[in-house]
Amino acid sequence: MAQLIAKMITLQFSDMPDQRHQVQLRTNAVYVNGRPLQVRKAAAGSFTGMLDGRTVRLRAVAHGDTLYVQLRGRGVRIDRVDPTRARAAATPGGAGASHAPMPGVVISLLVAAGQQVKAGDDLLVIESMKLQMTISASLDGEVVELPLAVGQTFQRNDILVRLQTCGDTA
Amino acid sequence: MSRIVSKIDAGSAGYKKNQAAMAQKVEALQSRVHKARFERPERDIERLRSQKKLTVRERLDLLLDPGTPFLEIGTLVANKAYEGEVHGAGQVSGIGIIHGREVIVHADDPSIKGGAWYPLSVKKIVRTLDIAIENRLPVIHLCDSAGGFLPLQSELFPDRHAAGRIFRNQCTLSKMGVPQIAVVLGHCTAGGAYIPALCDYSVIVRGNGGVFLGGPPLVKAATGEVVTAEALGGATMHTTVSGTCDYAADDEPHAMAMARDIFANTSPIPKQTIDRIDAEPPFYDPKELYGIVPTDWKTGFDMREVIARIVDGSKLHEYQPDYGTTMICGYARIWGCKVGILANNGVLFNDSSLKAAHFMRLCDRDRTPLVFLQNITGYMVGREYEERGITKDGAKMIMTQVGCTVPKFTVIVGGSFGAGNYGMCGRAFDGRFLWMWPQSQIAVMGAEQAANTLADVKIRQLQRKGHELDAEQIAAIREPVLARFEAESDAYYSTSEMWDDGILDPVDTRNALGMAIVASLNAPFGEMGYGVLRL
Amino acid sequence: MTTIRKLFIANRAEIALRIVHTARRMGIATVVPMHNQDQFGPALTEADETVEIFGTPAVAAWLDIPGLIRAALDTGCDAIHPGYGFLSENATFAKAVELAGLIFVGPPAPVIELMGDKITARRFAVAQGMPVTLSADEAEDPTTFEKRALAIGFPLLVKGAAGGGGKGMQIARRVEDLANAISVARAESQRYFGDGRLFAERFVEQPRHIEVQVFGDTQGHVIHLGERECSIQRRFQKLIEESPAPKLPDGLRNRICDAAVKLAAAAKYVNAGTVECIVSPDGEFFFLEMNTRLQVEHPVTEMVTGLDLVELQLRVAQGEPLPLDQGDVQFSGHAIECRILAEDADAGFVPDTGKVLLLGIPAGPGVRFDSGVTAGAPVTADFDSMLAKLVVHGADRTLAISRMRSALADTTMLGVTINNDFLSRVLHHPAFARGETDTGFLERHKAELAPAVFTDDERQLMLAVAASAAPDISATRIPEPYASMGAWRN
């Protein structure tokens, strides 16, 4: 009796983050965006597939939500995406803008315009309804603008900080 | 159970004739099904693409588990109505699998008249939800409809089982604890807005999804307010301000992934248990069904040969094999599930009616689902049989059949005429599913008989007035009646009106029954009991 | 003659492993030190003992002379092999090792001092009749340095006198560039070597970097083991080395090797050393510097001569005479080495960090892989970015190139970006096959060495494999009868 395991996964290339690819692992083939491909596992981390009618070897390994694949000696990084999570940069102001979740006041600014930050770095502290909150960076990049000064009040959805990703270095 | 011994000679002329005729019918069926499912005018598809929408089939591919079956219901509904332009009545319904669990899907097809609801569309949605209620199947609504088709509103709005019944069924499902998820992919206007509102969970797609009791044109006409569809009832408003919808999706693939994720978080309830073992394919090749069953319903065949190509291992334990031989009763397995089979092998007599009633009682008591294979012209008529109480015996068969609370499934393999339809669990008798074969016929009586009867009446009428009719004039009265009856007895007419749940390629019967039986186990069997038998 | 019974290897990664292998073969016990932030080296599991050394940042532990000597003494070693880099050319270290009563596997401290300073080394070379490029030494007279530099003519190379390894060097092509080249070179030299004194010399265009492996023993014998070409460089750092140098006329080869031996003998050189020269397109050669240690690219010499240079080092360190004369040295075939670095060669050679999640070691006839990492090893910015050396031998250069191409394609270190595909593109370039190797190769052919764009088919296949390698993804067991029915539709 066939035991069918239906595996579905959403992937994106690290060098093409705007495109998502749906991959389904079925018993007879692997379907990439609806197109069936034959992939065979040869050993741990080793696979074979077909390209232009010829067999090619690939290596692949997973590390958390990142997959590293090597084809003909060239390596790529592929990230696993949670399909239920929205794409980045769907909000106005771009992915780099942090919006105030509720009205409040700026308590302190921890970075300055022009500063390089990494995702997760603390940017500023706000207070609202007697609660203090630290706003942190949602991406790696540069602080473009801090529109509010310490002590300044804001409304819900006002932009607290603007970040910008850096371009690729040559 | 032992294997049915087949007596078919695949080399005989009769077999080959049947085979050729049925193959042709099946090819025609497949062609019509393909057209109904996939052929759309280019501009309708382009319109979908420009709206960043997927076709309903693409939506199902993303919603359901890959590589799993989908039992579609009523693919050819409305094929004889609305000038044949509203394929499937603009709806796709069916039983599919998500995360290994059965669901029933009701999906508007926006590539057909914008997904507008015709009277038969409403009938199909109501039927889909009735199936959901009877079988306790979770429902996924893929909403994308232009709304009710106004010119035919009198046929889709006011009556008991018209549009209102959709929402009544939704409430009943909710009360029963059956999960419903709506995915709003287009507009849900007026009544349609209630679909997501009455669901447990709803997903709405940004930009395309809209839920409002009155759309922008109606709002403007009613109060003068000017507002865009997005502002009036779009994703952002309903998921952040009104709370009418629960999840906002960026696009359709995102919405389908969310629906799957939401469904994964609903908890399944234990299924009804029945006698079930590992499945085994039939010993005989189901393709031989084409050579066994003649396309002319008047020609007889041995129903055992049909059973042998549907059931596991072609094995049947026949009950009372020598008594009431025009009714075959026996235990068999379909996809491992033990079922009681009742199959016509001729006209119904007293003994065959009593045998059927007794056998149905045994199955109901022992919680064995029933499968009816119909090929019946009716009960035997004549004085001898009336004196023996054929009417009472037919009544006992019907009374018993209705009293059964095990799931019942019917396949009209040949003809289904008159009272024979009743005893053998026709549409009115609460079977879980009913299917036709491409050459099947259903009517109160055969077309010839009906035409003759009606023509007779007319002829005598005219004769009393002093007119004598020649052969040509008789034909002129008879032919149109015959033609109309033949058309209205046809399987495609039946499926168009949704008197059945679809026309099956005979070869697909096993899978359809298997899937339906296993899906039906989501509902517990009811308490046993039946009315008074006229003994 | 003192037999070494236990050897302390004051190094890490692939060179430590390489030395352990030879020592073990010779019956010498080995101790390899370990820092708690660098616990994944393959040598640590293969050495007989390991001992923890301390330092913050980690690299400081490897420059801690007292700490290393103490570790060697504590573990009962009688000799220290410094490997390359770190303290291998540090005369103070060599002296301290001797003072501690241990054998230093390398030349005596005075020789290291002589050759370690670029300026003294150059003067010594000139005195031996070795050709050198026109130069100006700032230390002679800082006020006239720029004027003397100008007098050399352009193009001009300005570099730190105390430096090496490609750092602290600037090329000035026109008069206008000189002042800037001087200030940048000075700042870099100060930063890397703690010494901002400069040296200017004529820059040979399209020079070939040719070096000679020399060996001396305590009895005064000095031989050479052939030359190596190391012209394929990026930012003055070697990437690909080979032996013999392609298209080098025999006469020129012999003159360079003989001059190197003469220089080493005059310096009373003991143990392994390399005389580096540049060769101009006209066939002239000029002394560049001498490295008083075993070099990274020594395996190519080993593969064409069949000799184990670390064994020779240990024998000479024990006081034995060299086991062969110049006439006994045989050269056979051709060898190429590629340095496998953790960097994105297509994004300006930016170093990468990560973890070696999957290690695939190429194998085959003539293939040698000296690995500095094991599977699971983290790759950090603490140490050099070289993760391994891939060395290939063939009966001729064509076969060696062909074997290297296959080996590069089979080299796998997933989890960190490596340069194997870039190296492969160089190996496939027709100019490389023609032997048109000089230090401007990579810059000159930059556009042609750009990577090919992946086709859609290739990307789809990679996605399919990625999904197949991903563990535990939304897997649901589909029950019967649906599993057997598959994608059935009525």
Mean pLDDT of C324-340: 96
DSSP readout, B74-104? Answer: -TTTTTTSGGG-SGGGGEEEEEEEETTEEEE
How many A×C Cβ pairs under 8 Å? 152
Residues 45-64 on A with a CB inside 8 Å of C are 45, 47, 49-52, 56, 58-63
Question: CA C379, CA C387: separation in Å to the nearest integer?
Answer: 8
C356 contacts in chain A (CB < 8 Å)? none
Query: Domain-by-domain residue ranges, chain A?
Result: 7-81, 97-164
Q: Which two tokens stand for residue C283?
A: 């066939």
pLDDT computed for residue A166 by the predictor: 64
How many A×B Cβ pairs under 8 Å? 37
Whether B367 and B274 have beta carbons less than 8 Å apart is answered as yes
Is residue C22 a part of any domain in this protein?
yes
Domain count, chain B: 3
Note whether A23 contacts C474, CB cutoff 8 Å. no
Instruction: Using the CB atoms, write b or e for C50-78: b if 16+ within 10 Å.
Output: bbebeeeebbebbebbebbbebbeebebb
C487 contacts in chain B (CB < 8 Å)? 66-69
| Cβ within 8 Å of residue C352, ≥6 positions away | C342, C343, C344, C379, C385, C416, C417, C418
**Same domain flag for B470 and B345:** no
Is residue B509 a part of any domain in this protein?
yes
Residue of C nearest to B102 (CA): C482
Is residue C464 a part of any domain in this protein?
no
Amino acid at C382: D
DSSP readout, A6-18? Answer: EEEEEEEETT-TT
| Cβ within 8 Å of residue B70, ≥6 positions away | B60, B64, B94, B95, B96, C488, C489
**Same domain flag for B290 and B221:** no
Is residue C148 a part of any domain in this protein?
yes
Cis peptide upstream of residue C155 (ω within 30 degrees of 0):
yes
C411 contacts in chain A (CB < 8 Å)? 73
Residue where one domain finishes, among candidates B217, B244, B264: B264
Domain count, chain C: 3
**Same domain flag for B429 and B449:** no
Nearest-Cα distance to chain A for C204, in Å, is 27
Pick from B65, B250, B278: CB nearest A87: B250
CA distances from C421 to A38, B503, C351, C381, C465 (A): 25, 59, 15, 22, 19
Is residue B3 a part of any domain in this protein?
no
Note whether A71 contacts C458, CB cutoff 8 Å. yes
Note whether C473 contacts A13, CB cutoff 8 Å. no
**What's C245's DSSP letter?**
P
Express the helix, strand and coil content of chain C in percent, nearest 5 each: 35, 25, 40
Q: When comparing pLDDT for A170 and B199, which is higher?
A: B199
Question: CA B153, CA B79: separation in Å to the nearest integer?
Answer: 20
> Average pLDDT over chain C, rounded to whole?
92
- Positive or negative: CA dihedral B40, B42, B48, B52: positive
pLDDT of A104-139, one tens digit each?
A: 889 899 998 888 888 888 899 988 766 778 888 888
CB of A10 within 8 Å of a chain B CB? The answer is yes
> Average pLDDT over chain A, rounded to whole?
81
Q: Which two tokens stand for residue B357?
A: 């009633």
Mean pLDDT of C434-455: 93
pLDDT computed for residue B448 by the predictor: 86
Residues 237-266 on B with a CB inside 8 Å of C are none
For B444, the 3-state DSSP assignment is coil
pLDDT of C397-425, one tens digit each?
A: 999 999 999 999 999 999 999 999 999 99
CB of B67 within 8 Å of a chain C CB? The answer is yes
**Same domain flag for C179 and C78:** no
Q: Could you tell me the pLDDT band of residue A170, with boundaries at 50, 70 and 90?
A: very low
First to last CA, chain A: 56
Is residue C483 a part of any domain in this protein?
no
Considering only A90-99, B56-65, B328-337, which range has the smallest mean pLDDT?
A: A90-99
Q: Which of B257, B259, B242 is nearest to B180 (CA)?
A: B259
Identify the bridge partners of residue B72 per DSSP, sorted by sequence position: B94
Is residue B497 a part of any domain in this protein?
no
Amino acid at C117: D
CB of A34 within 8 Å of a chain B CB? The answer is yes
Q: Does residue A92 have a pLDDT over 70?
A: no
For B504, the 3-state DSSP assignment is coil
Say how many CA atoms lie within 13 Å of B224 toward its Cβ: 0
Residue owning tokens 């040949």? B414
Is residue B494 a part of any domain in this protein?
no
Residues 450-479 on C with a CB inside 8 Å of B are 476-479
Residue where one domain finishes, among candidates B217, B243, B264: B264
For C240, the 3-state DSSP assignment is strand
Q: What is the CATH number of domain A97-164?
A: 2.40.50.100
**Same domain flag for C333 and C219:** yes
**Same domain flag for C92 and C215:** no
Mean pLDDT of C277-295: 92
Question: CA B30, CA B50: separation in Å to the nearest integer?
Answer: 30
Q: CB B228: neighbour CB atoms within 10 A? A: 10
**Same domain flag for B276 and B253:** no
Is residue C122 a part of any domain in this protein?
no
Whether C17 and C372 have beta carbons less than 8 Å apart is answered as yes
DSSP readout, A36-70? Answer: EE-EEEEETTEEEEEETTEEEEEEEEEETTEEEEE
Whether B149 and B116 have beta carbons less than 8 Å apart is answered as yes
Q: When comparing pLDDT for B378 and B80, which is higher?
A: B80
CB of B204 within 8 Å of a chain C CB? The answer is no
**What's B428's DSSP letter?**
G
> Using only C-alpha atoms, what is the Rg of chain B?
25
DSSP readout, B124-141? Answer: HHHHHHHHHHHHT--EEE
Whether C13 and C20 have beta carbons less than 8 Å apart is answered as no
Is residue B251 a part of any domain in this protein?
yes
pLDDT of B129-154, one tens digit each?
A: 999 999 999 999 999 998 999 999 99
**What's B287's DSSP letter?**
G
Q: Domain containing B27: what range?
A: 10-39+271-440+503-535
Strand boundaries in C19-138, DSSP class E: 29-34, 49-52, 79-81, 103-104, 135-137
Express the helix, strand and coil content of chain B in percent, nearest 5 each: 45, 20, 35
Give the burial class of B83: count Cβ atoms within 10 A of its Cβ; 0-12 exposed, 13-18 middle, 19 or more buried. exposed
How many B×C Cβ pairs under 8 Å? 56
Mean pLDDT of B278-289: 96
Is residue C45 a part of any domain in this protein?
yes
A24 contacts in chain C (CB < 8 Å)? 467
- Positive or negative: CA dihedral C119, C122, C124, C127: negative
For C271, the 3-state DSSP assignment is strand
**Same domain flag for B397 and B460:** no
Question: To which H or E segment does residue B32 belong?
Answer: helix B13-38
Q: Which of A17, A86, A18, A69 is nearest to C470 (CA)?
A: A69
Strand boundaries in C10-155, DSSP class E: 29-34, 49-52, 79-81, 103-104, 135-137
Is residue C279 a part of any domain in this protein?
yes
Q: Which of A167, A166, A80 is nearest to A119 (CA)?
A: A166
Residues 414-433 on B with a CB inside 8 Å of C are none
Q: Which two tokens stand for residue B238?
A: 């309903």
**Same domain flag for C254 and C147:** no
Amino acid at B338: K
CATH number of the domain to which B394 belongs: 3.90.226.10
Give the burial class of C420: count Cβ atoms within 10 A of its Cβ; 0-12 exposed, 13-18 middle, 19 or more buried. buried
Q: Which two tokens stand for residue C401?
A: 């190139």
**Same domain flag for B91 and B222:** yes
Pick from B66, B100, B248: CB nearest A31: B66
> Average pLDDT over chain B, rounded to whole?
94
Q: Could you tell me the pLDDT band of residue A1, with boundaries at 50, 70 and 90?
A: very low
Q: Domain containing C70: what range?
A: 6-105
Question: CA A106, CA A37: separation in Å to the nearest integer?
Answer: 55
Cis peptide upstream of residue C244 (ω within 30 degrees of 0):
yes
Residues of chain B contacting A, Cβ within 8 Å: 61-62, 65-68, 100, 248, 250, 253-254, 257-258, 261, 278-279
pLDDT computed for residue B250 by the predictor: 86
Whether C371 and C387 have beta carbons less than 8 Å apart is answered as yes
Is residue C14 a part of any domain in this protein?
yes
CB of C482 within 8 Å of a chain A CB? The answer is yes
pLDDT computed for residue A86 by the predictor: 59
**Same domain flag for B458 and B346:** no
Q: Could you tell me the pLDDT band of residue B7, with boundaries at 50, 70 and 90?
A: very high
Share of chain B above pLDDT 90, in %: 79
Runs of H (alpha helix) within C142-294: 145-152, 175-193, 250-266
Question: CA C408, CA A33: separation in Å to the nearest integer?
Answer: 32
DSSP readout, C427-474? Answer: HH-HHHHTT---TTHHHHTTTTTSPPPPPHHHHHHHHHHHHHH--S-S
Pick from A6, A10, A28: CB nearest B65: A6
Q: Could you tell me the pLDDT band of residue A2, with boundaries at 50, 70 and 90?
A: very low
Q: Which of B78, B134, B148, B147 is nearest to B104 (CA)?
A: B134
Mean pLDDT of C464-470: 92
B505 contacts in chain C (CB < 8 Å)? 490
Nearest-Cα distance to chain C for A14, in Å, is 12
**Same domain flag for B251 and B296:** no
> Using only C-alpha atoms, what is the Rg of chain A?
22
Residue where one domain finishes, among candidates C89, C105, C121: C105
**Same domain flag for B89 and B163:** yes
**Same domain flag for B357 and B457:** no
pLDDT computed for residue A129 by the predictor: 67
B278 contacts in chain A (CB < 8 Å)? 1
Chains that touch B (3 or more CB pairs under 8 A): A, C
Q: When comparing pLDDT for B332 and C41, which is higher?
A: B332
Pick from C347, C414, C464: CB nearest A75: C414
**Same domain flag for C221 and C198:** no
Residue owning tokens 């906002």? B248
Give the burial class of C86: count Cβ atoms within 10 A of its Cβ; 0-12 exposed, 13-18 middle, 19 or more buried. buried
Q: Could you tell me the pLDDT band of residue C143, with boundaries at 50, 70 and 90?
A: confident
Q: Does residue A83 have a pLDDT over 80?
A: no
Q: Does residue C155 have a pLDDT over 50?
A: yes
pLDDT computed for residue A89 by the predictor: 42
Question: CA C240, CA C392: separation in Å to the nearest integer?
Answer: 11
**Same domain flag for C396 and C309:** yes
Instruction: Using the CB atoms, write b or e for B165-188: b if 16+ within 10 Å.
Output: bbbebbeebeeeebbbbbbbbbbb
Residue where one domain finishes, among candidates B207, B231, B264: B264
Note whether C466 contacts A39, CB cutoff 8 Å. no
**Same domain flag for B449 and B434:** no
Residue of A nearest to B67 (CA): A26
**Same domain flag for C226 and C324:** yes
CATH number of the domain to which C148 belongs: 3.30.1490.20
Q: Does residue A3 have a pLDDT over 90?
A: no
What is the predicted ipTM? 0.89
Pick from B66, B68, B261: CB nearest A84: B261
Q: Could you tell me the pLDDT band of residue C475, with boundaries at 50, 70 and 90?
A: low
Q: Report long-range pairs for C454-461 (Cβ below 8 Å, ≥24 apart).
A: C454/A74, C454/A76, C457/A51, C457/A52, C458/A51, C458/A71, C459/A13, C460/A32, C460/A33, C460/A35, C460/A37, C461/A37, C461/A39, C461/A49, C461/A50, C461/A51, C461/A56, C461/A58, C461/A71
pLDDT computed for residue A5 by the predictor: 57
**Same domain flag for B318 and B460:** no
Question: CA C306, CA C14: separation in Å to the nearest integer?
Answer: 20
